[in-house]
Amino acid sequence: MYKGQVLLFAIFAFLALEPLFGQDAGTIALYEAGNYNEASERFKKELKYDSQNAGLWNYYALSLQKHSKLKDAEEAYKMALELDPSNSDYVSNLSFLYLARRAWNDAESSATVALKMNPENGNAYYSRAISRTELDKLEMAMEDCEQSISYMPGRASLYILKSEIFLRRLIKASGPDDLADRIAILRSSIEALDRCLTVCVGELSEIRKRIESQKALFQYYEIGQVDGEGPHEPFKECVPLRIKTKPRPGYTDSARREAVTGTISVLVVFRSDGKIRQIVLLQGLPAGLNQKVLDSAKGIEFEPERCDGNPITVVKTISYRFSLY
């Protein structure tokens, strides 16, 4: 249902670039065309003749990072910063590299340094918002996300991040007395995504998909129904939903190569007719694993929950653990 989670998938769109006057325009064209491996080799050769060019080291680091050569990219960023130590963009780029490594504390620290250098660095706010989301500093993450939006109001991935911060709160509001909180959280998340439809530029199909799924959950929590399906009144006796088969999503090649581990959680609408209605990503992982989970969740087979003998529609949280061992 989603092509990816914003916490890592839109990172490279925010990395700070700069013109390299006097450099081989063909190398930059290779980079901008997505030929990162070839571009990095060309930048490496150019650095032999212009090793004191901080901007060139930054470009070299970017091309290495996009080719998943994170260790070499980190060294290149550090060379750029050695030559130009007050460049806030280079530091925020380095923080995005730490995000790619899932080194949340390092990413947060680097973004904070970048903001001390330039308090108007919208990319640094974005990077710090991602890291703080992963560190479960949700209030601070939301503040950073709002700051980033104030500098880059047309970026769709910022509104997706804002929505995902709300959904992290939804995970915590799972108790029997938290219904009002769940409704309020979903309303705020939907409002953030709706705002993007007004101000964002580019392809917005992902935004629309998220709105559709979250509105279904909102209906369920607010009136107890999804498309007319769901409980209408308290029941005397219920038999819980029983999952019969839960397909395993498996690793993507890139996730295995990057040694990605962790848990992906989704909210699933289990319909009374035995079909999966909507799936909402609550907490994800990079390298294509989110889509793997969303596809697998669609294949869950289950016996609907029954109350007073009748099948009903319910919403449940389903988690998938990824481990290489």
Q: How confident is the model at residue 243 (pLDDT cuts 50, 70, 90)?
A: very high
Reference 115, options 103, 101, 129; nearest CA is: 129
Q: What is the pLDDT of residues 98-124, one digit of tens each?
A: 998 889 999 999 999 999 999 999 999
Mean pLDDT of 149-167: 95
Rounded Cα distance between 66 and 34, Å, is 9
CATH code for the part of the protein at 1-152:
1.25.40.10
pLDDT at 155: 94
**In the structure encoding, which two tokens stand for residue 151, read together?**
């500098």
Long-range contacts of 226-231 (CB under 8 A, 24+ apart): 226/269, 226/271, 226/277, 226/278, 226/313, 226/315, 227/277, 229/271, 229/272, 229/273, 229/277, 229/312, 229/313, 230/272, 230/312, 230/313, 230/314, 231/307, 231/312, 231/313
**In the structure encoding, which two tokens stand for residue 176, read together?**
């029997």
Q: Is the pLDDT of residue 148 over 90?
A: yes
CATH architecture type of domain 238-322: 2-Layer Sandwich (3.30)
Q: What is the pLDDT of residues 199-236, one digit of tens each?
A: 998 889 989 989 988 988 888 887 765 555 554 455 66
**In the structure encoding, which two tokens stand for residue 96, read together?**
């995005």
Q: What is the pLDDT of residues 257-305, one digit of tens each?
A: 878 888 999 989 898 899 997 898 888 888 889 999 999 999 999 999 9
Rounded Cα distance between 230 and 254, Å, is 40
